[in-house]
Amino acid sequence: MAQLRNVTELLERTQAILGDALLDVERQFDDELASSNPYICDILEHTRRFRGKRLRPLLCLLVAKAVGDIEREHLILAAVVEMIHTATLVHDDVLDEAAVRRHVATVNVRWNNQTSVLYGDFLFTHAFHLAASTGSADACRLIGRATNRVCEGELMQTRNRGNLSLTEEEYFSIIDGKTAELCAVSCEIGARYAGGSDAVVEAMERYGRNLGLAFQIADDVLDLTGLESSIGKTLGTDLEQQKLTLPIIRLLQLCPAEQREQLLLQLEDSSESACREVLRQARELGAVEDSLATARRCASEARQALEILPASPARELLMLLPTMSIDRSC
């Protein structure tokens, strides 16, 4: 099966399958947030440049196409999920004290933290307002449940900053909420509103969740090993803020007993030189590759979940996304 070379190819192949559906989602997004307030318009225009692969709307629409067809609810709810995702990015940049996202100054740098927090809230409230326009209480509950789980994941991550005893189980619980949940609900919405059976809906939810886990593990590796100029966002924040991610948890497991105390001191230090040394050890002891192997297992489980679907161009593209979520530089 041919792999996707880059995001441009992904979007080209997606348009060939979905037609103008992704543009319709963009219109839903923009129309809902339209404002006559110049200050809000400035922020909206600025954050428009944050939008990247549109992974979550793509998942929703591709699953809908693979299961049945794209309906009005898909266009609305895909925009809703993207709004929620954007809100979490704006809030994350405050929590991480990040300066750059997609090669653009973050809202907290361009304006201030107060503006970022309130703008994130603005996005959340519009997302719930737009979800209500479906007239479906079930849709609102799906979105509400997913948003709750995202917030729980973020709260648990914040609570565990500096916890150098964080377990893998706790780590996976955090990323399952903060990242995988929105991918899972995007796929669940795609299947449910395309008329999928309970078995198909469950399988698509599982696909999205495993893809989201693979994506986040790869993201945590990139935070250690990536080039900021390529990725386009502030890197190294996990180590600086003592957030244990899978590569560091695996490093602590692989580190020889006689070196463990020194490693813990370096993790507590979180200076630039200490972070460089931690990265060197993570590479040399195999923690980076070990983490990527786990991401690849999640990707494999995602692909297995698609076996319930009949062959189609949409299914083929969905098959390629888990690998692309890992083999990326941004």
CA distance 199 to 58: 21
pLDDT > 70 fraction of the chain, expressed in percent and rounded: 94
pLDDT of residue 303: 98
Query: Do the domain assignments include residue 11?
Result: no
How many domains are there within the chain?
1
Query: Do the domain assignments include residue 6?
Result: no
pLDDT of residue 48: 85
Mean pLDDT, the chain, rounded, equals: 91
Instruction: Give the CATH number for residue 264.
Output: 1.10.600.10
Query: Do the domain assignments include residue 7?
Result: no
Query: Do the domain assignments include residue 114?
Result: yes
**Predicted confidence (pLDDT) per residue in 49-71, tens digit:** 777 678 999 999 999 999 999 99
pLDDT of residue 9: 78
Query: Do the domain assignments include residue 9?
Result: no
**Predicted confidence (pLDDT) per residue in 137-178, tens digit:** 999 999 999 999 999 999 999 999 989 999 999 999 999 999
Split at pLDDT 50, 70, 90, the class of 109 is: very high
**Predicted confidence (pLDDT) per residue in 235-273, tens digit:** 567 788 888 999 999 999 999 998 999 999 988 887 888
Residue 151 lies in domain: 16-326
Query: Do the domain assignments include residue 1?
Result: no
pLDDT of residue 232: 46
Query: Do the domain assignments include residue 10?
Result: no
Query: Do the domain assignments include residue 4?
Result: no
